[in-house]
Structure 1
Amino acid sequence: MTFIMDPLLYPSIIKHGRQLDFHEFAAKVAPVTFGYPVVVPALQDQIYRTFKLLQGDNLAALTESMMGNLMLVLRQDHLGERGAWRRAALYDFCNAVMFEATFLTMYGRPPARRHGDMAALRDDFVRFDNMFPLLIAGVPVRLLGRTKAVRDKLIGYFLPHRMSCWSGTSEFIRTRAELFEQHGALRDVDKAAHHFAILWASVGNTVPASFWAVYHLASHRGALQRVRQEVLAVLGLHADQFNGDVDLVLDRGQLEKLVYLESAINESLRLSSASMNIRVAQEDFSLSLGAERSVGIRKGDFIALYPQSMHMDPDIYDQPQSFRADRYVQDGRLKTDFYKAGQKLKHYLMPFGSGSTMCPGRYFAMNEIKQFVCLLLLYFDLQLEEDQSRATLDQSRAGLGIMLPAADVRFRYKAI
């Protein structure tokens, strides 16, 4: 595997979409990890096309649904008596709220509005997710204790006869379910495994990203208050006009105006993202690395970008280990001008991958993180508890996305 470390060369890799492909690698790894058979090319192409339903006009409907589901979970589970402090572990809190709200948004709800076994489902998901790095590394699932049994249980949750009882399913999941029904070679358990894979893709990185955004803002009270004021301003409210008894609505257009919040989230992503962008050479060719350099690439060679090295480069980011909520704000807009060796970088922040293989759900992911943070800051007073160590990154997931905290963080919160 060849690593390209100079971010100025990233465009040279990304533009070779035909010769350097990610899909071949994913098509081999994903079935083994999530427990479905290798997908035939015709079906794979149809599956890829469904990802368009996470963008464009469909994004507005997903965002609206997520807002309602976040309010549902927060109001029923956490917006209790005002003025009463409650204590919790921050990652567990973020996980419980974001996991269920995302699940309801993507897959729908039973007649009772909430899935009664959501806590057990989430616990099993965490057990599987803890083994995810080993599965991606190619360790056979049979060698990982009860991991296969846990995965089978998770897959079973998405069997067609169960999903048919849910209402409010997103168009994205509904379209995929209809597509799977058209392919007679897929067993019900295979269809369910595909749905389970989307669950992981929906929350596996979004939950830790939400945690880090909340954690960093809670650690920097000035930034937290500035975000809160920005949200109120977008809503056209003063602090004393906000009524916690009313469900908050922040649509897609309003979320796009939250520049300072987006900067704070971007900064959290910069500090916690450790994704590795892998490409597989589809043919022998000469890879140009600027005007004067090139290197011979053989078919089957692996080329990798590791953007974390760029995210932590002091030549690009001043004091890169520090959280600066306004790092991506300039003149009231999102800053996009970052330089290396005097040259402007085309790619300076890459938590969602690159090129044609960028995460198709990245716009929804950013919206739901924004929504979650907005609701927490408007409805709650939250404080990190004293006398505890700062959160650090769990390096075991390096290369796989947003890293989890090595240990959870205690905090307290009360409804305002």
Structure 2
Amino acid sequence: MVVATAALLLSTLLLFTFFFFRRSRRRSEPPLDKGRVPWLGHALEFGRDAAQFLNRMKHKHGDIFTVCVAGHYVTVLLDSNCYEAVLKDTQSLDLRRYAQVLMERIFSLRLPNHDPESEKMMMEKQFKGSHLTQLCRSMQKNLNFLLASETTQNPAEWKKDRLFNFCYNVLFKAGYLTLFGTKNNNCAELTEVYEEFRRFDKLLAKLARRSVQKGEMTIASSARERLWDLLCPAWLAKGAEPESWLQAYLHHLNEQSLDSHTQRRALLLQLWVTQGNAGPAAFWLLGFLLTHPKAMRAVREELQGLQHLPLDERENTPVFNSALKETLRLTAAALITRDVVQEKTVRLSSGREYTLRRGDRLCLFPFLSPQMDPLIHSEPEKFKFDRFLNADGTAKSEFFKEGLKMRYGTMPWGAGSNLCPGRHFAISALKQFVFIFLKQFDLELCDRNASMPPVDSSRYGFGILQPDGDLEIRYRPRK
């Protein structure tokens, strides 16, 4: 038995080694870097800190290269002027395959008839026009309610908290009430949804990379199953407001003939998509403002002049918009992945062309290019609240790299067919949260010399980054 097992392991290793060394670069293809370990390639380094690894590969190979990652060959494209043209090609590049892989790994969800285009059209309709206006009003009401509950019995007393915990808690609950809320909302159940979601979210990156340990898998499975129970489609449908986002999404799921078991899993996916980034983004925004007093003063002065205006007239905020764009430039780090289903030629800004091989994966990483490219943004690692402002105070929209005008200075919402349909609602929610909090509360760092914590490097590739640490704050209602 032992001999047979050893023989099987040896033959498997030899097979992996054969395929590893058989792959060679063709003349028209990007530079190939297979790493030193057969089959595994660069998987460990990629998973540990994708930004650091891909930046090293960029310095070594340029704006396009192919790396071996756990048996897959991934071509990484870092010329941001090519992104939109590449994403338009839905014949050569397929979105659904890798999306299905992640849905199954993270959410145990299989959607056999999944149609991303019809789902995107439904979402775009729900996040614009009168639907968007109603969502923003509901979000404002829920934020006011939740922030009012933060007032202590003695308003003069300072209340202490950790900034990341505070932002995630308030934004998640307000967003949940706005999109998933029903007539049967229960405060205790709302808190349970948040706590279970946080347990699940902490392990999301490991679930995606299949690197969870046995104990962690137990925690993730328990949280996931409890969230499925809390997101019961039949119960939600009875209490949902007519013509709400929730009713529209449940109708979309029913049109796909999905059973209630699958619908619960799809609802958890949407819960993460809609609520997994707002809290972290608010943390970084307020954290940068608190650790950069000049930026905080500029934002406060701008918002002060808007406090008597109705919600729909608070759009002219170039300083706040610039601070938000700068925050997202530093922290929005999603990987855009497509499967190459037929050979494709990519033309870079330099004019040079490369061929993508059928069966490989293509990966775009806007965090590195354009957002952290030093040839586009001077001192890209620093927070500069006015980076997206012209000298006259108007919004800055033009950025250049070595004399070439760039399509984008930052890409937190994706591009082309990958553009986030809920971006306007997300921006409005962040603006409302900061506006209400700074207007109604005094806010300070407990340690005035505190600096921003580093990022959790394992979260590269999954939307807004999360911190590896926190900031201690105190707040109280303003007099």
**Compared CA separation, residues 315 and 261, structure 1 to 2 (3 A):** same
**Which of residues 188, 213, 230 is equivalent to 1:116?**
188
Shift of 1:316: 1.2
> 1:292 & 1:182 partners in 2: Cα distance?
46
The residue that corresponds to 1:174 in the other structure is 247
C-alpha displacement at 1:412, in angstroms? 0.5
Counterparts of residues 16-415 of structure 1 (less than 5 Å): 16-41=89-114, 44-57=116-129, 58-78=131-151, 81-111=154-184, 114-138=186-210, 144-168=217-241, 171-184=244-257, 186-236=258-308, 250-251=311-312, 253-254=313-314, 256-290=315-349, 292-310=351-369, 311-330=371-390, 331-386=392-447, 388-415=450-477
Asked if the contact 1:109–1:115 (Cα under 8 Å) also holds between the matched residues in 2, the reply is no
Moved more, 206-215 or 155-164: 155-164
Cα distance in 2 for residues equivalent to 1:14 and 1:282: 13
Shift of 1:11: 4.2
Q: 1:133 to 1:281 in 2, by over 3 A?
A: same
Are 1:89 and 1:410, in contact at CA under 8 Å, matched by a contact in 2? yes
State the Cα deviation string for residues 283-309 of structure 1 (Å, max 9, x = none): 223222247421122223211121222
Which protein has greater RCO, CA pairs closer than 8 Å, 6+ apart? Answer: 1
Instruction: Map Cα deviations across residues 325-380 of structure 1 (whole Å, 9 max, x no partner).
Output: 11111233321111111111002211122220122211111111111111111111
C-alpha change, 1:167 and 1:105, in structure 2 (3 Å) is same
- Select the structure of larger CA radius of gyration: 2
SS of the residue corresponding to residue 381 of structure 1 reads strand
* Native 8 Å contact 2:169 2:279 kept in 1: no
User: Helix, strand or coil: the match of 1:146?
Assistant: helix
Distance 1:36 1:12, change over 3 A: closer
Query: Shift of residue 14 of structure 1?
Result: 3.4
The Cα of 1:183 is off from its aligned counterpart by: 4.4
> Does the CA contact (< 8 Å) of 1:8 and 1:340 recur in 2?
no
> C-alpha distance in 2, partners of 1:298/1:348?
30
Contact 2:332 / 2:412 at 8 angstroms: preserved in 1?
yes
Unaligned runs of 5+ in 2: 1-73
Change (3 A) 1:85 1:44: same
Conserved? CA contact 1:208–1:404, under 8 Å: yes
Does 138-147 or 291-300 show the bigger shift? 138-147
Q: Which amino acid aligns with 1:36?
A: L
Distance between the aligned counterparts of 1:367 and 1:380, measured in 2?
20
2: CA distance, partners of 1:179 / 1:79: 43
Which AA in structure 1 matches 2:465? M
Query: Do the aligned partners of residues 79 and 68 (structure 1) sit closer, same or farther apart at CA in structure 2, a change above 3 Å counting?
Result: farther
Letter in 2 for 1:390: M
- AA aligned opposite 1:293: R
CA contact under 8 A between 2:289 and 2:296: conserved in structure 1?
Answer: yes
Q: 5+ unaligned residues in a row in structure 1: which ranges?
A: 238-248
Q: Is the 8 A contact 1:312 1:321 kept in 2?
A: yes
Letter in structure 2 aligned against 1:223: A
Distance 1:36 1:10, change over 3 A: closer
Helix, strand or coil for the counterpart of 1:334?
Answer: coil
Inter-CA distance 114–149: structure 2 relative to 1 (3 Å threshold): closer
- Structure 2 distance, partners of 1:169, 1:137, is 39
Q: Give the Å deviation of 1:79.
A: 6.8
Matches of 2:400 and 2:280, distance apart in 1: 28
Higher mean alpha-carbon deviation, 47-56 vs 326-335, is at 47-56
Displacement of 1:15 in angstroms is 4.0
Deviates more, 1:172-181 or 1:126-135: 172-181
Q: Which runs of 4+ in 1 moved over 6 A?
A: 140-143
- Tell me the TM-score normalized by structure 1: 0.89
Rounded to whole Å, the distance in 2 between the matches of 1:89 and 1:46 is 40
**What code does the residue aligned with 1:222 have?**
K
Task: Report deviation, 1:199.
Answer: 0.8
